[in-house]
Structure 1
Amino acid sequence: MKNMESVKTNVDPKSLTFKLSENVTVQKVMFKNKFGVEVAGHLYLSKDIDTSKKYPAIVIGTPYGGVKEQGAGIYGQNMAQRGFVALSFDESYNGESKGEPRHISSPDLFVEDFSAAVDFIGTQDFVDREKIGVIGICGSGGFSVTAAQVDPRIKAVATASMYDISGMFRDGFGKTLTDEQRNAMLVQMAEQRWTDFENGTPLVPEGFPRTPADSIPEGLDPVTSEFFEYYAMKRGFHINAEASFTATSGMSFMNFPLMNYIESISPRPLLFIIGENAHSRYYSEDAYEKAAEPKELYIVPGARHIDLYDGGDNDCIPFDKLEGFFKEYLK
Structure 2
Amino acid sequence: MRTDIAFKTQDGLTLAGWLFSPGTRGRSPTIVMAHGFSAVKEQYLDKYGEAFADAGFAVLIYDNRNFGASEGLPRQEVDPVLQVRDYRDAMTFAATLAQVDPLRIGVWGSSYSGGHVLQVAAYDRRVKCVVAQVPDISGSMDLRLAIRPDLLPGLFAAFEEDRAARYQGAGPVMLEVVNEDPKSDCALPGQDAYDFFVGSQKQRAPAWRNEVTLRSVEMLNEYEPGSVIDRISPTPLLMLVAKRDALTVTDLALKAYEQALQPKHLELLEGGHFDPYLSGFDQSSQYAIEWFAKHL
Q: Provide the TM-score with structure 2 as the length reference.
A: 0.88
Q: Percent identity?
A: 25
- 1:98 equivalent to 2:65? Answer no
Partner of 1:326: 292
Letter of the structure 2 residue corresponding to residue 172 of structure 1: L
Q: Matches of 1:258 and 1:319 in 2, distance apart?
A: 23
> Which of 55, 61, 82 is the matching residue for 1:82?
55
Partner of 1:135: 108
Q: Matches of 1:296 and 1:236 in 2, distance apart?
A: 34
Partner of 2:273: 305
Partner of 2:261: 292
- 1:34 equivalent to 2:7? Answer no
Letter of the structure 1 residue corresponding to residue 288 of structure 2: L
5+ residue gaps in structure 1? Answer: 1-24, 210-216
Map Cα deviations across residues 226-262 of structure 1 (whole Å, 9 max, x no partner): 0111111257652222353211223334334322222
**Contact kept? 1:111, 1:147, Cα under 8 Å:** yes
Letter of the structure 1 residue corresponding to residue 133 of structure 2: A
Partner of 1:212: none
Where do 4+ consecutive residues of structure 1 move more than 4 Å? 175-178, 180-184, 217-223, 234-237
**Contact kept? 2:139, 2:223, Cα under 8 Å:** no
Partner of 1:255: 222
Shift of 1:196: 3.6
Q: Matches of 1:139 and 1:243 in 2, distance apart?
A: 17
Shift of 1:187: 2.7
**Contact kept? 1:303, 1:316, Cα under 8 Å:** no
Map Cα deviations across residues 30-67 of structure 1 (whole Å, 9 max, x no partner): 11122222111111113x332xx111000112121211
**Map 1:261-276 → 2, pairs under 5 A:** 261-276=228-243
Backbone CA RMSD of aligned residues: 2.6
**Map 1:151-300 → 2, pairs under 5 A:** 151-164=124-137, 167-174=138-145, 184-198=154-168, 200-208=170-178, 217=180, 224-233=190-199, 238-279=205-246, 280-300=249-269
5+ residue gaps in structure 2? Answer: none
Residues 79 and 282 (structure 1), Cα distance of their counterparts in 2 relative to 1, 3 Å cut? same
**Contact kept? 1:70, 1:236, Cα under 8 Å:** no
Shift of 1:188: 1.7
Residues 290 and 27 (structure 1), Cα distance of their counterparts in 2 relative to 1, 3 Å cut? same
Letter of the structure 1 residue corresponding to residue 158 of structure 2: Q
- 1:113 equivalent to 2:80? Answer no
Map Cα deviations across residues 91-128 of structure 1 (whole Å, 9 max, x no partner): 11111110122011112111011101101111112211
**Contact kept? 2:107, 2:127, Cα under 8 Å:** yes
Figure out how many residues of one structure are paired with residues of the other and give that number.
290
Q: Matches of 2:284 and 2:177 in 1, distance apart?
A: 30
Q: Matches of 2:126 and 2:232 in 1, distance apart?
A: 11
